[in-house]
Amino acid sequence: MSSLPRRIIKETQRLMQEPVPGINAIPDENNARYFHVIVTGPNDSPFEGGVFKLELFLPEDYPMSAPKVRFITKIYHPNIDRLGRICLDVLKDKWSPALQIRTILLSIQALLSAPNPDDPLANDVAELWKVNEAEAIKNAREWTQKYAVED
Amino acid sequence: MEQFEQLLTCCVCLDRYRIPKLLPCQHSFCMEPCMEGLVDYVRRQVKCPECRAEHRIPYNGVQAFPTNVTLQRFLELHIEITGELPDPTSGQIMERCSVCSEKSYLSYCAHCEKKICEDCKSAHMDILRREITRFNSQIRRSLHRLQDTLAIIEKNSVSLQTNCVGVTEEIDEICRRITKAIKDRTDQLRGEVDRYLTIEMRNLTTLRENLDHEIQNISSNCDIVDKYMNETVEWDDCELMDTKEIFLKTVEFLRHFEYENTDYTRRVRFLVSIDPNQLVLNLASFGDLNIAPHSQPSGSVSSSHLAPPSGLQPGLMRSKSDHRLATQFRQQEERVGYNDEPVLGGRKFGERPVRANNDRYGDGNSRYGRGTDYDYENEYDNDQTPSRPGKSSRFRSRFVRSHQNDDSDSEQQQAQRQQELEKKKDRVLSGEDVSRGQLSGIIRLSDCARVIQRLADIGKEKKEKKSDTAAQAAVQAAIQAQKASMQRPKQGAQRQVSEDDEISRIKRQNKNAPGGTATQATAANTTAQTTESERPAADRVAALKRTGVPQGTSEESDSSNHASPVRRTPPPRAESKAPVSAQVAAVKKTTRSGSSDSTASTESSTSSAAAAAPSSTRARESPARSRATPASSAVTANSNSTPTTEKKPFVSRFLPQHSSAAASNEKKKAESESSSEEETSSEESEDEVDTKSKSTAATSSSLAAKSQVGSSALSSSGAGSSSGASSYRERLEARRNSRDDASSRPSSSYATPSSSGTSGYGSSSRQRTVPAPHHAHDSDDRYGSGSAASGSSYTSRFLNKSKSSAIVSQPSLSTPTASFDEDANGTGDDSDSRYGTGRSRYLAMKERRSRLARSRSSHALGNEDDDLDEPVSPTTASPSAYLASRYSGYGGTDLARSRSSHALKSRDNSPITDRSTASARSAIVTAAGSSTSAAADSKDGEALSSWARYLKNKYGNKSAKDTPSSSSSGASAAPSSSHSHGAGVGGSSSSGSSASRSHASDVSRRLSLGLPLRQANELGSSDDDGSKNGLGSPTSPTVAAAAAGITGVAGTSLRDLYLRKRQQLFQLGGRGSEPGSFTWPRGVAVGPDNSFVVADSSNHRIQVFDSNGIFVKSFGDFGCREGEFDCLAGVAINRIGQYIIADRYNHRIQVLDPQGRFLRAFGSQGITDGKFNYPWGIATDSLGFIYVCDKENHRVQVFQSDGTFVGKFGQLGPLEGELEHPHYIAVSNTNRVIVSDSNNHRIQIFDVNGKVLKTIGSEGSDDGQLKFPRGIAVDDQGYIVIADAGNNRIQIYSPDGTFLKAFGSWGSGRSEFKGLEGVGIMSNGNILVCDRENHRVQVF
């Protein structure tokens, strides 16, 4: 196991020192490439009040390839499937080494505020979102309440 | 500022820009690794991470993008402003790491001497740390040895004191007795004289009285006659007649009276039966102190105890992790022996010349002998200017020290030396040298500035943390101490000023120590006086040189460094020298004799005079001189010799720089001078070179004489005695010359020993040292020492041939030859250093040879000479000898054999054959020497050729018995042992035939006489083979015959054969990465043709040997590709000769064809079927199934020969059928699968389906018990051989699983093991054992 690239160390340090509001990423004790992420649902979104757990893994060739991010907390979102996989361009082909963990997580947070049912991953959700947005948002709220709110 | 920072940060690596490259979109990124990583190689595009713009990559790659110069300036500016340190890797280009092959910024790793990446480096540092820890514990464990030694020394000093007191009392007693005897005798004589006087006086008085009376009577008669005998008085005729009668009688009396007027002045004479001078002489030397020599060169109590055990030493020397180092190390050992090297190669702690960033300190420690050769050379040159005072004590080599200690004769001297040492320590200027161990050269880490710095840093950190611990206090204390000691250098200067005072004080002490001085002088005396004493001295010196000089090149520079303060102020030298006894002096002299004798040849005449002047005065003060002895000449010679020694380093350092032209001029001048002094030598010698040198030497002596008070004869005799050791050899050589030349030069060789005592040797020794001045132009005086070192073997080798004293030559011969074997066997420090000798000897030989070629090219003698030179020269036409010596006789003697057997047939033909014969023969003598002489210790044994060892093991005792008469002398025993295999075989079959025995002794005699063996061979055709092969090598058919004999025996009772197993037949290997050497050999497998393969684990290769242990080939390299290995463990050979290898760290099995080509590999890391976790042992059965010990999966897996998974059995556990770390596996021809269930301390025997048939052994060390069994092998009758690794022994079980035999123990000697691995059985019953930590394979 080769040691950690400086970039990861730097990013981790910065994440710790200057945390982004609403985002909390903590590297795993055993694997510094694995992060336990908590993203709070953005205000004015159906996910408001929710605390979403994600996992983020930096692959071997990071930053040349995108980090792997997955929602652990169930979420009702057209771009996030039931397994928590996220459909986000910057995580796929739009990945750029100039992006960072924090930017990715911000993007995800933004994705929560602005679902994009036109580029769906969870087709049923996207369908509902398109057909009956209010219903979908209500579902999302319910899911958030159900899964993402801790008492 | 924040923004500014950000602008200077590459957004990809989030680091400061390193070589920012500007993309056409105006975004900049570091060239490496950022830009490199962005490249889409398929499309040859780079996509800007910032704007996602895609750019074509220029033809030359990303580096062709323009560098953002502005940005770079900003970076520089930023660095200037903030003062932050530039990134250490800035400006560097990424390279592939030499270890992990990853591209990264590399830095130099001192551990492996490669440029490697940080990761690997830190890994290596970890290794080093671990090793240091391990060594630390090792050292801690063995430190008590030093303490024990301390106690012993205490004891010894006490006993020495008592001894000396006792001797002094004895001397006093003797003195009293002698005085009393003299007094008694004097009284007696005096009484006698008195008595005689009285008697004589009485006689004389009586005589006088009588005479007076007579005179009175006669006078009165005369008067009466005058007065009254006339006519006036009447006398009758009777009266007249009576008167006349009286007067007649008176006349008669007077006429006849005669007084015996003897010479009363000399009446009594005092006659002394013995010449009084002689008597005085006798009295003066009425007793000699016999100072028992130490048994071995380095045999002083301290050094022998301090000599690291051979097992420990290599460990300390080398870090075990880097097997690749072994090669380099060896090369260095070639150049420089380990022993006399300073720790860290003379560097300052933690500094490394090559390293760019030498910020670490921890790494320097594990590598001791690094780059010293280089250093030496440099320092040697640099030290011409006495500007490196700190070096003075650097070369306190263990060896030299021990010798000085060795020869210390009295308590006083020891104490005095101790004082000297302390003073020296104080005088040392460099802080690091302050605490340098005088014996080992080990410095105290806490004295190293860097360490202090480190500790201080730690301390600071700790302080910051406010954790005030005791350790910290200790550290602080250490720092304080260090600081204090660092300030000492300043005082050092003052001290040096007062050096001379100290010296004089020491001298005074010397004078005050009469016992010591006397003994020392006596020692000197003995060396100088007789050839007889020189003879052993020569041997001893030779031996010393073999160990002492070995570093060859270093010896001189050693002394130069050692003496650097000395040069400035000669006295200290004397001070240190004076107590050293003559033997050590002789060593030094001989090693330096070349340079010393060249004193005369050049301007150095003045310098020598100058040098001699203070030294002579000093010498007068020195103990040797201050001892007033009637035997003045001898003493003068000795004391002369002392200054000569002191002069030597002086001259040697300066002389080589003089041009040879000047030298030759001087030489010619000297020639004329010398003719008067030494007519014999210059007249007789037709060798011009020799003459010149001789005469120059003569001049030197004369100059020395002038500068001193003594006569030239004395000084020359002094020189003679000083270099007596070498001169002896030279004399022999000269004798050979004279014999060969027909034009005899007895004068130079025998050199009038009768006329001028030792001067004969003096002259010859001067002749001996010719090479040095002669080659001074192209070398330094190292050659002098080298040739001096060569002398012993040279002549002894010759002697071996010579008709006279082979016996003498033998001991010295065997070891030099052995020194070449070092490569194969050895890590012992002796052999290491011997190797050094070999090399220097080679150099010297080469030189000498060229000289000889020049001087007498037309002589037929050339052959002989070449012959003698050859064996040590690896580059010349006789590689056989070289190889033979180098590879412990394996590969080499094979060649040698072919040649030598040929040579025997046509012995007189060519010099080449002659040569090889000689080498072969010398090999035999070596063999014989060890095989018969009880003195041959294990070290010698190791160094011997395998053939010799083989013989020794097998028949050594027998041959000794067979030829008891010859066993005492190694040389004469040689042929007997070469024959003894014949006898031995005979003995094993029935009983030794007396005929063969007599023949053997005959041959032995012949060989010892140097006669060609051909006649011997002709004597008996039955023994012809034997003797020839005796000359040959282990590969000879006789061995095969012997082996066949064994097999024959084995055929009848294999059991007996196994029961007899105890002694190693031969061994091969030795640590290293060259062919035939191993680094942790693990698996071994025997092929159908009895060849065997060894898994040379940490060399990541397979080595193939033939049935006689001769290296055939090797293949494989480090890596994970096809045909590459990573710490392979087990190896097996299947029926068709394919090699099946458990590639341990690659978690796979590889199959190679018999040529070593890759066929297939299967498996990967994992726990499922067909996957491995550190596969270890491997075996095949007759059907070609492959059985693999999947060690960490605690199971055995079975595959088809093509790698298809067939089955598995075993799981972790202690129960029957369960395994824990199975290591090795073997399959019998009855298809019983035998597994060494290592951590369960047992052997389990399965059938092919994995059903347990039997379990052998339980944990323990009794017979039949096992502890971590590893290697396992089964022969075709089902006997099982188990490497009982935990008990370091081999156990043999009969096919039914009952214990049969165990042998071996822990150690690194023969038949000893350290970490057993695989074992194998050859079809003749020989057992191969991989002795891992000894890096060898032993054959039983």
Q: Are B711 and B718 in contact (CB under 8 A)?
A: no
Position B793 pLDDT exceeds 90? no
A102 touches chain B (CB under 8 A): no
Residue-wise pLDDT tens digits, B1010-1038: 444 343 333 333 333 333 333 333 333 33
A81 touches chain B (CB under 8 A): no
Note whether A98 contacts B37, CB cutoff 8 Å.
no
Distance CA B840, CA B838 (A): 6
Note whether A11 contacts B12, CB cutoff 8 Å.
no
Contacts A–B by Cβ distance under 8 A: 41
User: So what's the pLDDT on residue B464?
Assistant: 57
| Chain B environment of A2 (Cβ under 8 Å) | 100, 102, 119
Which of B15, B49, B118 comes nearest A98 by C-beta? B49
β-pairing verdict for B54-56 and B45-47? antiparallel
- Structure confidence at residue B791 as a pLDDT band (50, 70, 90): very low
Position B71 pLDDT exceeds 50? yes
User: So what's the pLDDT on residue B91?
Assistant: 58
Separation of CA A99 from chain center:
14
Position B448 pLDDT exceeds 80? no
Write out the DSSP string of B1209-1269: E--BSSSTT-BSSEEEEEE-TT--EEEEEGGGTEEEEE-TTS-EEEEE--BSSSTT-BSSE
| Chain B environment of A59 (Cβ under 8 Å) | none
Position B474 pLDDT exceeds 70? no
Which domains, from first to last, does chain B contain?
2-93 (3.30.40.10), 118-261 (no CATH), 301-444+499-796 (no CATH), 797-1043 (no CATH), 1066-1339 (2.120.10.30)
* Closest residue on chain B to A14 (Cα): B14
Closest CA to B291 of B509, B517, B506: B517
Residue from B13, B14, B15 to probe the interface with A (highest A Cβ count within 10 Å): B14
Q: Are B346 and B375 in contact (CB under 8 A)?
A: yes
Tally Cβ neighbours within 10 Å of residue B155: 11
| Chain B environment of A104 (Cβ under 8 Å) | none
Tally Cβ neighbours within 10 Å of residue B701: 32
Catalytically active residues of A, by annotation = 87
Note whether B38 contacts A97, CB cutoff 8 Å.
yes
Between residues B880 and B204, the one the model is more confident about: B204
Element (H, E) at B1141: strand B1139-1143
User: So what's the pLDDT on residue B348?
Assistant: 59
User: So what's the pLDDT on residue B569?
Assistant: 38
CA distance A92 to chain B (A): 13
User: So what's the pLDDT on residue B922?
Assistant: 41
Note whether A61 contacts B37, CB cutoff 8 Å.
yes
Structure tokens at B199: 């008697």
State which fold the A6-148 domain adopts.
Ubiquitin Conjugating Enzyme (3.10.110)
Average pLDDT over residues B743-747: 39
* Closest residue on chain B to A94 (Cα): B52
Domain spans, chain A: 6-148
What are the mean pLDDT values of chain A's consecutive 10-residue runs (151 residues total)?
75 87 88 90 87 91 88 89 88 87 90 86 84 88 86 63
Residue-wise pLDDT tens digits, B1089-1119: 888 899 988 888 899 998 888 888 888 888 8
| Chain A environment of B50 (Cβ under 8 Å) | 96, 98
Distance CA B101, CA B117 (A): 9
SS3 B1318: strand
Average pLDDT over residues B704-725: 39
CA distance B483 to chain A (A): 38
CA distance A11 to chain B (A): 8
Distance CA B442, CA B569 (A): 26
Element (H, E) at A53: strand A51-57
Residue-wise pLDDT tens digits, B1197-1233: 999 888 889 888 988 888 888 999 999 999 988 888 9
Eight-state DSSP code of residue A2: P
Between residues B233 and B340, the one the model is more confident about: B233
Distance CA B1026, CA B18 (A): 75
A94 touches chain B (CB under 8 A): yes
Note whether A97 contacts B100, CB cutoff 8 Å.
no
Note whether B119 contacts A6, CB cutoff 8 Å.
no
A63 touches chain B (CB under 8 A): yes
Residue-wise pLDDT tens digits, B934-954: 333 434 434 444 444 444 444
Note whether B14 contacts A11, CB cutoff 8 Å.
yes
How large is the angle between the packed helices B632-654 and B514-529, nearest 10 degrees?
80
Q: Are A95 and A65 in contact (CB under 8 A)?
A: yes
Residue-wise pLDDT tens digits, B274-295: 777 887 887 777 777 777 665 4
Which of B15, B50, B119 comes nearest A98 by C-beta? B50
Distance CA B228, CA B234 (A): 9
CA distance B92 to chain A (A): 17
Note whether B47 contacts A96, CB cutoff 8 Å.
yes
| Chain A environment of B119 (Cβ under 8 Å) | 2-3
- Structure confidence at residue B81 as a pLDDT band (50, 70, 90): confident
CA distances from B495 to B429, B498, B612, B1272, B1290 (A): 10, 5, 25, 67, 62
* Closest residue on chain A to B47 (Cα): A96
Note whether A100 contacts B14, CB cutoff 8 Å.
yes
Which residues lie across from B1255 on neighbouring strands?
A: B1244
Separation of CA B184 from chain center:
57
Q: What residues in chain B have their Cβ under 8 A from chain A's Cβ atoms?
A: 11-15, 34, 37-38, 47-50, 52, 100, 102, 118-119, 122
CA distance B50 to chain A (A): 6
Distance CA A144, CA B1206 (A): 54
Which of A5, A7, A96 comes nearest B49 by C-beta? A96
Average pLDDT over residues B815-824: 38
Residue from A2, A3, A9, A17 to probe the interface with B (highest B Cβ count within 10 Å): A2
Eight-state DSSP code of residue B906: T
Distance CA B169, CA B275 (A): 29
| Chain A environment of B28 (Cβ under 8 Å) | none
Question: Over chain B, what is the mean pLDDT?
Answer: 61
CA distance A34 to chain B (A): 19
Which of B13, B49, B122 comes nearest A6 by C-beta? B13
Q: Roughly how many angstroms between the first and final C-alpha of chain B, as a whole number?
A: 77
| Chain B environment of A6 (Cβ under 8 Å) | 13-15
CA distance A50 to chain B (A): 32
ipTM tops the 0.85 cut: no
Average pLDDT over residues B1244-1255: 88
Q: Which residue has the tokens 């300190």?
A: B361
Residue-wise pLDDT tens digits, B619-659: 344 443 434 334 333 333 343 433 333 334 343 344 444 43
